[in-house]
Structure 1
Amino acid sequence: MVVYLDLLILDNFCADAALLYCAVRTVKGEVRWRRILLAAALGAALGTGYAVFTIFFSLPAPLDFFVRWGVLFVLPLPAASFRYKRTYALCSLAFVGYMAALAGILTALFARGEPAAGGAYAVYGIPSGVLVAGCALFAVLAERVVRRLAARVEVVACTCRVVLCAGERSVAVSGFVDTGNRLRDRRGRPVAVADARVLAALWAERLYGGRTAPETVAVRTVNGRSRLSAVRIERMEIYCGGRVHTIEDVTVALSPTPLAGEYGLILPASFARKTDFYDSGGDGC
């Protein structure tokens, strides 16, 4: 058996770089080519080394499965900086998904049947240049598909930077646009839901000093009906995709339980309509 290590390293490196780029772009992370290329080089070294190792040695099936798939989920970690575990998990899943899609395309184009092997398929004879060009083309097409799918949705679930302003105080939090948030205040306007720590940092003196009387907002969940305490703030600024949407006189409800670690605020879908965002360039969320 002849193994061309230079071509094997090149193929692994280009495939990992292209798929890591797609995964980082999918979760809207910051693309830093130095980190992506470093992660791709690490993946190429591990992939090539393990391929050569399996020529001379064999591992038990469970351990072999763990090594192969474990690397796929760990490889996105050095490719970008992730503020939250959820973003890293989504990036890893996207990387594995793109890997499966590319492998499926290669199998469909270059596989040949092996009747003597019980109908198994073997992929071989792929020119290295074709594989490298295919990886680059796959990255370009995947990014365009993701962009078009996102552009067809007027309101999307995403994370935005939100600044809450009350009097002379302001606090910046990470807000999650939730299409399932249909809360309304007494005026019939949409209501955002904030973590207790956010409102405490913004309105501690007014709330606990008794100078502001909170209203209540009716909530219906799978566990029944309940009510949330809510206050009105002067202004909310939502920053998303290079644009800003400013909303005056907003009602913010107090969440009875802590929100997920990466979010401090849950926004209603009506706050994230793309047509409401104005500024220099960019889209909505």
Structure 2
Amino acid sequence: MDGRRCDVVVYLDLLILDNFCADAALLWLAVRTVRGKCVLPRILLSALLGTALGVGYTVLCLYCTFPAAADFFLKYAVALLLPLTAAHFEKKRSYAYCSLAFVGYMFAFAGALTALCGQSTGAQGSTLVYTVYGIPSGALVAGCVCFVFLGEKLVRALLAHTKVLSCTLECVLHQGEKELRLRGFADTGNRLRDGRGKPVVVAERAAVLQLCGDFYGCKTEKIAVKTVNGSSEFFAVRIDLLEIYFQEKRHTIEDVTVAVSPSPLSGEYSLILPASFAEEKNFQARG
């Protein structure tokens, strides 16, 4: 050492802005992922807490050296605890999922940022250092917003296929003055569509005959079906109304196409419903 003074310049304004926006955006997305209630003041306060801890720790590291294990523990302990202050969780499992989602989004967002960073070797030559240069801080803030927007779109698309109330449901079919109570099975493999492009219910032949009789006055059609054994056709009839019940809720669908199964179904149920018919968002409390 030659005794010369070494000055370190830390742009605290940019560091605070970038940390705050990233924490707020990723916390918002993590809470939305677990279907939590997003309260903006709580999320902003949590992001502010994360920013204070992050910036304080960064400045502290300029004067102190921490073991690698302690550094790892401190960083990820804070990351796992921040969601606890960002929203109210009724179940511990929801909080755990939210924390894991937040850490996962941090990894994804950090990975995206490395494409914008310059790579260099640390002072000791044993570590890689990524430095953002030549990029306005506003661009990073806009990147946070875009990341959250695209992430929420993806999460919604994934959750839309998973929120099914139950696999077996009580159903009531109506045709004219007749009604028939049967048990239905919601099957994700039922992707049949009628000529209108609407989902199709598959029923046993005996059930369809009991409801529609000789099919006089009923609208009928044939639906093409492709299987591993080749192509075939299902005879189908359109009925007036289908009611699906789950606990104290009901889903009512008018003008439903019911295809006749060429082979008997399981003894536990007489209908195969499209999975979309069992989605929670479609059910309303009984009037």
TM-score of the two chains, using structure 1 as the length reference: 0.57
Which of the residues 52, 77, 80 maps onto 2:87? 80
Which one-letter code corresponds to 1:45 in the other structure? A
2:116/2:132 contact within 8 Å kept = no
Shift of 1:5: 1.1
Q: Percent identity?
A: 50
Q: Distance in 2 between matches of 1:138 and 1:7?
A: 19
CA distance in 1, matches of 2:140, 2:58: 18
Question: Any residues of structure 2 matched to 1:16-55 within 5 Å, and which?
Answer: 16-55=23-62
The CA distance in 1 between the partners of 2:159 and 2:78, in whole Å, is 29
| Shift in Å, 1:274 | 3.3
Provide the rounded CA distance (Å) in 1 between the counterparts of 2:62 and 2:122.
24
Q: Trace 1:42-121 onto structure 2 (pairs within 5 A).
A: 42-114=49-121, 117=125, 120-121=128-129
The whole-number CA distance in structure 2 between the counterparts of 1:69 and 1:79 is 16
Give the counterpart of 1:131 among 114, 123, 140.
140
Alpha-carbon separation, structure 2, partners of 1:127 and 1:235: 54
* CA distance in structure 2 between the partners assigned to 1:6 and 1:114 by the alignment: 26
Is 2:237 aligned against 1:237?
A: no
Q: Is 1:150 paired with 2:159?
A: yes
1:168 equivalent in structure 2: none
Which SS does the other structure have where 2:36 is aligned? Answer: coil
Equivalent position amino acid for 1:103 in 2: A
Structure with the greater alpha carbon radius of gyration: 2
Structure 1 equivalent of residue 277 of structure 2: 275
Conserved 8 A contact 1:18-1:136: yes
User: How far off its partner does 1:114 sit?
Assistant: 4.1
2:156 is paired with a residue whose SS is helix
Q: How many angstroms does 1:77 deviate by?
A: 0.4
Deviations 1:160-201 (Å, cap 9, x if unpaired)?
Answer: xxxxxxxxxxxxxxxxx577x99xxxx99479xxxxxxxxxx
Superposition TM-score, scaled by structure 2 size = 0.56
CA distance in structure 1 between the aligned counterparts of 2:24 and 2:93, rounded to whole angstroms: 22
Cα 1:272–1:83 change in 2 (3 A) is: farther
Aligned CA RMSD, in angstroms, stands at: 3.2
* Aligned counterparts of 2:27 and 2:17: Cα–Cα separation in 1: 15
Pairwise CA distance, 1:157: 5.2
Distance apart, 1:65 and its partner CA: 1.0
| Unaligned segments of structure 2, at least 5 residues | 1-7, 170-180, 186-244, 253-271
Bigger drift between 15-24 and 103-112 goes to 103-112
